[in-house]
Amino acid sequence: MKSFNVPTTYRSPLISEVKNRRKQQDKLKKDLSPSLLDFGDLKIYLARHFGFCYGVENAIEISFRTIEENEGKRIFLLSEMIHNPLVNADLIARGVRFLQDTGGKQLIPFSELRPDDIVLIPAFGTTLGIEKELRESGIQIEKYNTTCPFVEKVWNRSEQIAAKGYSIVIHGKPKHEETRATFSHASAGAPSVVVNDMHEAVILARYITGALPPESFYENFSGRYSEGFDVTKDLQRIGVVNQTTQLATDTQAIADFLRQTMKDYYRLDESQIGERFADTRDTLCYATNDNQSAVTALLNTPADLAIVAGGYNSSNTTHLVELCEEKLPVYFINSADKIISPEEILHYDYHGRKEVRTSGYLSFEKPVRVLMTSGASCPDAVVEEIIRKLSSFFGAEDLIDSAAGI
């Protein structure tokens, strides 16, 4: 796979050595067991896969190269490049300004743009409507479009099945930038609707079978269906695609459920299912799958707690937290600074959408065993800083530089 030129400050000699060693030992990525960093009274188990993915590194490389090559020009980001506070802060420090927030609220009107300005499209992509507005402002977006290739793959797959007469069901968080972008691209070619979770997929199935009155669909899915959507016709042939950072198992469960719904309702055998349901398994992102599979394997390791590093508004990171919290206490942090002391940690409660302070998070019999992973938009340098902070509490700082060889 292509290697990217990203700022060295995001790299970690420690993590790079660990990852390179595992890659040499397991080139086919079949061994999902974690890597152990043994600091005596502290044992840290790193997930087999974590950190920057292809799409994120691609977006970062394009962004920083654009800044270097266009000194003196006004450079804007449509919204956050990726969901990581360190990366976005670095871009702002270099003079980049955001046109919108992550919810799509306008911070700087497009009317203020000039044709010689540069606008970077983030890794999540954007809607066809926004692309049109930018072009009408004279902005050339193609050269500075960092949309992840795996997000574009979802769009392309949606277009393919739309051409065959299927409507599109999108599994995603309705307000997320990527979901908004995918909905825009999908609905340009076919009737489309967004479902947030299995609960909503079950409700959608009841419209497919006629168990719910058609008119209530427009209230239940308000703001999440395409213009002109006809619930009495547009759910007769469907395909499921996803926001690539969703839990892959959730997307597959929703797809399997809706497939079975179509099979039962229309009394189809396996050879006939394609008449009503499109196969879209190939839209699941490899990095999302790898990171989630690695965490599932990581959780087989006996441990006292887990630490997940990443941006608090990062969808893929949040799903890693969800997986971990099923097994043990988990602390979701975006930097080593959140580890206040051996007694206290400030971490994000994504259920309550706020930071909370917890005492006694390391209060276990020695050795303390910590599981660790990070989201696809989290620099490895952040993970190393967290490891160094934790190891300092156990007098193991001198072991860091040799830890990769353990």
Q: What is the set of active-site residues?
A: 178
Query: Is-contact 42 388, C-beta < 8 A?
Result: no
3-state secondary structure the chain: CCCCCCCHHHCCHHHHHHHHHHHHHCCCCCCCCCEEEECCCEEEEECCCCCCCHHHHHHHHHHHHHHHHCCCCCEEECCCCCCCHHHHHHHHHCCCEECECCCCCECCCHHHCCCCCEEEECCCCCCHHHHHHHHHCCCCCHHHECCCHHHHHHHHHHHHHHHCCCEEEEECCCCCHHHHHHHHHHHCCCCEEEECCHHHHHHHHHHHCCCCCHHHHHHHCCCCECCCCCCCCCCCCEEEEECCCCCHHHHHHHHHHHHHHHHHHCCCCCCCHHHCEECCHHHCCHHHHHHHHHHHHHCCCCCCEEEEECCCCCHHHHHHHHHHHCCCCEEEECCHHHECCCCEEEEEECCCCEEEEEECCCCCCCCEEEEEEECCCCCHHHHHHHHHHHHHCCCCHHHHHHHHHC
Q: What is the C-alpha separation between 261 and 237, in angstroms, rounded? A: 11
